Amino acid sequence: MRITELFQRGEFVLTAEVGPPKGVELDHLIKDAHEYLKTRVHALNVTDNQSSVMRTGSLATCKVLKDEGLLPIFQITCRDRNRIALQSDVLSAALLGIENLLLLTGDYTTLGDHPQAKPVFDLDSVSLIHAVKRLEEGFDIAGNAVDGAPPKFAKGAVVSPCSDSVDVQLAKMEAKVKAGCEYFQTQGVYEPEKFIKFMEQAKQFGVPVQLGLIIPKNVGMCRYMNANVAGVHVPDDMIKELQADKEKTKAGDTGVEICARLIKECKDYAQGVHIMSLGWENRIPEILDMAGIAPITPVV
Amino acid sequence: MLITQLKSKETIEALAQGKTVIINCHGCKEVYFAEHEADELQKDLNGVTQIITTDYICNPDNLKLQLKKHTDVINAADTILVFSCGVGVQTVAALFEGKKVYSCCDTYPLPGFQGVTPLNVDCGQCGECYLNGTGGICPITACSKSLLNGQCGGAKEGMCEVDKEMECGWERIYRKLEKLNKLDNMKYEAPKVRNYHNPNAEEPTI
Amino acid sequence: MEDYTKFKLKRKEELDAVLADKNDLFVVACNKCFKELDSFDEPECGLFEEIAKEQGKNIVGSARIDFLCNEPLTSKSFEGLLPEGTKNVFVISCGLGIQTIAGLVEMPVYAASDTVIVDGHHGMALTTTLCDACGQCYLNLTGGICPVVDCSKSLLNGQCGGAKNGKCEVDKEMDCGWQLIYNRLEKQGRLQEMLNQPVELRDYSKVNHKFVSEYVKSVREERYEGYYGGIHPTEFKELSEHSSLVRFPEPLNVVIPMSQHAGAPAEPIVEVGQQVKMGQKIAQAVGPISSALHASVSGTIVAVEPRLHPISGLEALAIVIQSDGKNTLDDSVKPAGDLDKLSADEIIEIVREKGVVGMGGAGFPTAVKLKSPKPIELVLLNGCECEPILTADHRVLLEYADEVVYGLKAMMKASGAPKGVIAIEDNKLDAVELLQAKTADIENIEIVVAKTKYPQGAEKMLIKRVMGKSVPSGGLPMDVGAIVCNVSTAKAVSDAIQLGMPLIERVMTVSGNRMNKPGNYLVKIGTSVKEIVNHCGDVKGDDVTIKIGGPMMGFAQANLNVPMLKCSNGIIAVETTVKEAVECIKCGRCADVCPMELRPLYFTKYALSEDWEGMKTQNTMDCIECGSCEYICSSKIPIVERIKIGKTAIREGK
Top-confidence range, A37-41, C104-108, C174-178: A37-41
Do the Cβ atoms of A126 and B170 come within 8 Å? no
Q: How far apart, in whole angstroms, are the C-alpha atoms of residue B152 and residue C535?
A: 73
C445-468 pLDDT, tens digit per residue, is 999 999 999 999 999 999 999 999
Q: Are residues B42 and B96 in the same domain?
A: yes
* A254 Cβ contact list (under 8 Å, min separation 6): A216, A241, A242, A244, A245, A248
Q: Are residues C345 and C489 in the same domain?
A: yes
CA distance A31 to chain B (A): 32
Answer whether C115's CB lies under 8 Å from C162's CB. no
C249-268 pLDDT, tens digit per residue, is 999 999 999 998 888 999 99
Q: Are residues C415 and C487 in the same domain?
A: yes
Neighbours of C262 (CB within 10 A): 17
Tell me the count of A-B CB pairs closer than 8 A. 96
CA distance C190 to chain B (A): 9
Answer whether B58's CB lies under 8 Å from C127's CB. yes
Do the Cβ atoms of B3 and C215 come within 8 Å? yes
User: Of C590, C579, C652, whose CA–CA distance to C623 is shortest?
Assistant: C590
Neighbours of A24 (CB within 10 A): 10
A27-82 pLDDT, tens digit per residue, is 999 999 999 999 999 999 999 999 999 999 999 999 999 999 999 999 999 999 99
**Helices H, strands E: what count in chain A?**
12, 8
Q: What's the angle, vertex CA C224, arms to CA C219 and CA C229, rounded to 5? A: 100
| B157 vs A contacts (CB less than 8 Å) | 164
Beta strands in C184-271 (DSSP E): 245-247, 253-257, 267-268
CATH number, domain of C95, equals 3.40.50.2300
Q: Is C201 contained in some domain?
A: no
Q: Are residues C593 and C519 in the same domain?
A: no
Final residue before a domain boundary, out of C549, C575, C601: C575
How distant is the alpha carbon of residue C284 from its chain centre? 34
pLDDT, block means (10 residues), chain B with 206 residues: 81 92 91 88 93 91 93 95 89 89 86 66 79 88 92 92 90 92 87 74 48
Do the Cβ atoms of B161 and A83 come within 8 Å? no
Strands C378-383 and C25-31 turn out to be unpaired
DSSP state of B159: B
CATH number, domain of A281, equals 3.20.20.220
C-alpha R_g of chain B: 23
Q: Is C632 contained in some domain?
A: yes
Decide if pLDDT at C282 tops 60.
yes
Q: Is A299 contained in some domain?
A: no
- Residue C445's H or E segment, with its range, is strand C445-450
Split at pLDDT 50, 70, 90, the class of C354 is very high
C-alpha neighbours within 13 Å on the C-beta side of residue A199: 23
Q: Is B49 contained in some domain?
A: yes
CA distance C304 to chain B (A): 45
Integer angstrom CA distances of residue A49 from A28, A79, C361, C406:
18, 10, 68, 75
Least confident of A255-269, C45-59, C381-395, C539-553: C45-59
Give Dmax (Cα) for chain A.
Answer: 61
- Residue C465's H or E segment, with its range, is helix C459-467
Q: How far apart, in whole angstroms, are the C-alpha atoms of residue C649 and residue C339?
A: 46
The residues facing C321 across adjacent strands are C254, C301
The predicted model gives C635-640 an average pLDDT of 94
User: Of A92, A88, A87, A38, whose CA–CA distance to A65 is shortest?
Assistant: A38
**Total tally of structural domains belonging to chain B:** 2
Neighbours of A257 (CB within 10 A): 18
The domain in which residue C172 lies consists of: 139-195
Answer whether A58's CB lies under 8 Å from A75's CB. yes
Q: Is C544 contained in some domain?
A: yes
Answer whether B82's CB lies under 8 Å from B25's CB. yes
The domain in which residue B31 lies consists of: 2-109
**Total tally of structural domains belonging to chain C:** 5
Strands C59-66 and C25-31 turn out to be parallel
B171-193 pLDDT, tens digit per residue, is 999 999 998 888 988 888 888 88
Do the Cβ atoms of B87 and C131 come within 8 Å? yes
CA distance A190 to chain C (A): 32
| A137 vs B contacts (CB less than 8 Å) | none
Answer whether B18's CB lies under 8 Å from B47's CB. yes
ipTM above 0.90, yes or no: no
The predicted model gives C513-518 an average pLDDT of 95
Q: Is A296 contained in some domain?
A: no
Query: Buried (b) or exposed (e) across A157-175, using 16+ Cβ within 10 A?
Result: bbbbbbbbbbebbbbbbbb
Q: Are residues C262 and C168 in the same domain?
A: no
- Residue C185's H or E segment, with its range, is helix C177-187
| A174 vs B contacts (CB less than 8 Å) | 187-188
Decide if pLDDT at A213 tops 80.
yes
The predicted model gives A103-132 an average pLDDT of 92
Q: Are residues C439 and C363 in the same domain?
A: yes
| B193 vs A contacts (CB less than 8 Å) | 83, 123, 127, 141
Q: Are residues C303 and C254 in the same domain?
A: yes
Q: Is C90 contained in some domain?
A: yes
Q: How far apart, in whole angstroms, are the C-alpha atoms of residue B81 and residue B17?
A: 10
Q: Is B105 contained in some domain?
A: yes
- Quick check: A171 contacting B, CB < 8 Å? yes
Final residue before a domain boundary, out of C526, C553, C575: C575
Q: Are residues C509 and C469 in the same domain?
A: no
CATH number, domain of C257, equals 3.10.20.600
Q: Are residues C348 and C457 in the same domain?
A: yes
Beta strands in C188-314 (DSSP E): 245-247, 253-257, 267-268, 275-276, 281-284, 293-294, 299-308
User: What 3 state SS string does C319-371 have?
Assistant: EEEEECCCCCECCCCCCCCCHHHCCHHHHHHHHHHCCCECCCCCCCEHHHHHC
Chains with at least 3 CB pairs less than 8 angstroms from chain B: A, C
- B153, B183, B191 member nearest A160 (Cβ): B153
| Amino acid residing at A295 | P
Top-confidence range, C5-9, C211-215, C524-528: C524-528
Q: Are residues C346 and C490 in the same domain?
A: yes
Q: Are residues C429 and C371 in the same domain?
A: yes
Q: What is the pLDDT of residue B116?
A: 60
Integer angstrom CA distances of residue C319 from C86, C179, C326, C648:
68, 74, 19, 29
Residues 200-229 of C with CB under 8 A from A: 201-206, 208
Do the Cβ atoms of C143 and B101 come within 8 Å? yes
* Cβ neighbourhood burial of C351 (10 Å; 0-12, 13-18, 19+): buried
The domain in which residue A210 lies consists of: 3-290
Q: Is C469 contained in some domain?
A: yes
Integer angstrom CA distances of residue C103 from A45, C44, C72, C79:
43, 23, 12, 13
How distant is the alpha carbon of residue B201 from its chain centre? 23
Q: Are residues C490 and C359 in the same domain?
A: yes
User: Of C230, C220, C223, C219, whose CA–CA distance to C460 is shortest?
Assistant: C230
Q: How far apart, in whole angstroms, are the C-alpha atoms of residue C255 and residue C252?
A: 10
Q: Is B57 contained in some domain?
A: yes
Beta strands in chain B (DSSP E): 2-6, 20-25, 48-54, 79-83, 100-103, 105-109
Q: Are residues B105 and B137 in the same domain?
A: no
Beta strands in A64-125 (DSSP E): 72-77, 100-104
Q: What is the pLDDT of residue A68?
A: 96
Q: Are residues B146 and B86 in the same domain?
A: no
User: Of B10, B15, B22, whose CA–CA distance to B52 is shortest?
Assistant: B22
Q: What's the angle, vertex CA B29, arms to CA B23 and CA B34, rounded to 5? A: 70
Decide if pLDDT at A25 tops 80.
yes
Final residue before a domain boundary, out of C546, C575, C604: C575
Q: Is A280 contained in some domain?
A: yes
Q: What's the angle, vertex CA C434, arms to CA C428 and CA C439, rounded to 5? A: 120
Integer angstrom CA distances of residue A94 from A101, B149, C463:
10, 26, 73
Q: How far apart, in whole angstroms, are the C-alpha atoms of residue A157 and residue A105?
A: 10
The predicted model gives C367-379 an average pLDDT of 95
Q: Are residues B56 and B17 in the same domain?
A: yes
The residue of chain C nearest to residue A116, with distances taken between CA atoms, is C203
Q: Is C87 contained in some domain?
A: yes
Which is higher by pLDDT, B182 or C642? C642
Mutate to test the interface with B, among C586, C632, C635, C636 (most CBs of B within 10 A): C632
Split at pLDDT 50, 70, 90, the class of C182 is very high
Do the Cβ atoms of B171 and A168 come within 8 Å? yes
Q: Is B192 contained in some domain?
A: no
Q: What is the pLDDT of residue B205?
A: 46
Q: Are residues C357 and C448 in the same domain?
A: yes
CA distance C124 to chain A (A): 29
CATH number, domain of B35, equals 3.40.50
Q: Is A237 contained in some domain?
A: yes
User: Of B85, B82, B101, whose CA–CA distance to B2 is shortest?
Assistant: B85
C-alpha R_g of chain A: 19
Do the Cβ atoms of A175 and B149 come within 8 Å? yes
CA dihedral A79, A83, A87, A88 (to 10 degrees): -90
User: Of C116, C152, C148, C112, whose CA–CA distance to C19 is shortest?
Assistant: C112
* B185 Cβ contact list (under 8 Å, min separation 6): B133, B134, B135, B177
- B146, B158, B192 member nearest A164 (Cβ): B158
DSSP state of A267: G
**Total tally of structural domains belonging to chain A:** 1
What rounded mean pLDDT belongs to chain C? 91
Q: Is B21 contained in some domain?
A: yes
Q: What is the pLDDT of residue B206?
A: 42
Q: Is B168 contained in some domain?
A: yes
